[in-house]
């Protein structure tokens, strides 16, 4: 394992680092962190130490309440502390921010966003993955899915989320 190394090239026999070192390998697992663009900070919005926009309970910027922040670019409060970067955070926040804007346009105070977690998932291609189920505060439970079962689970959740966004119904966004 080599942390904080910049990869210049991946080849059939391993990889080449930008410092010229060659690392032979039959299998390479390359992970990368998330990085937020500097737009929020450059625009004068209040940000956290990672550059994510600091938002209130209704997902409005704490420094510019006319601006809403969602997804990976926003640092919202959760039961476990602060929102994490994931589609499990971004999609619901987008729906909740839309509801908050609708509330403002209707002269109502926006409702607080509810951000909870029920799993963490890592996709390893279309047919493999790992799913760790969690409590609402994002702490792990003992239940885990791996392999094809994990990939099938994530695909079902993704398709269901997209369907629900297109067909809100009585239990969808704003209910």
- 28-77: pLDDT as tens digits: 777 666 778 889 999 999 999 989 999 999 999 999 999 999 998 999 98
Token pair of 40 as six digits: 């929020």
Could you list the beta-strand ranges (E) of 7-118: 7-11, 14-17, 22-24, 53-54, 74-75, 77-78, 81-82
Condensed to tens digits (0 to 9), the pLDDT of residues 113-169 reads 988 888 998 888 889 999 999 998 888 999 999 999 999 998 898 888 777 777 766
Farthest-apart Cα atoms in the chain, separation = 63
Distance from C-alpha of 36 to C-alpha of 95, rounded to nearest angstrom = 21
Distances in whole angstroms, Cα of residue 59 to Cα of each of 43, 64, 163: 17, 11, 24
Contacts of 11 (CB under 8 A, 6+ apart): none
Report the alpha-carbon distance of residue 131 to residue 152 in Å, rounded: 11
Q: Which of 15-24, 84-93, 113-122 has the highest mean pLDDT?
A: 15-24
């Amino acid at each position: 394992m080599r942390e904080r190394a910049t990869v210049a090239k991946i080849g059939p026999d391993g990889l080449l680092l930008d410092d010229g070192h060659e690392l032979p390998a039959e299998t390479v697992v390359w992970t990368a962190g998330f990085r937020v663009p500097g737009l929020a900070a450059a625009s004068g919005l209040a940000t956290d130490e990672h550059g994510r926009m600091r938002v209130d309970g209704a997902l409005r910027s704490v420094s510019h309440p006319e601006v809403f922040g969602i997804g990976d670019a926003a640092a919202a409060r959760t039961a476990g502390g602060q929102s994490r970067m994931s589609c499990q955070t971004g999609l619901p926040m987008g729906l909740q921010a839309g509801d908050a804007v609708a509330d403002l346009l209707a002269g109502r105070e926006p409702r607080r966003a509810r951000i909870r977690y029920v799993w963490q998932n890592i996709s390893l291609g279309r047919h493999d993955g790992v799913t760790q189920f969690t409590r609402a505060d994002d702490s792990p439970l003992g239940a885990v899915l791996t392999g094809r079962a994990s990939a099938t689970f994530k695909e079902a959740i993704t398709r269901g989320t997209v369907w629900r966004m297109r067909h809100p119904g009585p239990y969808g966004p704003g209910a």
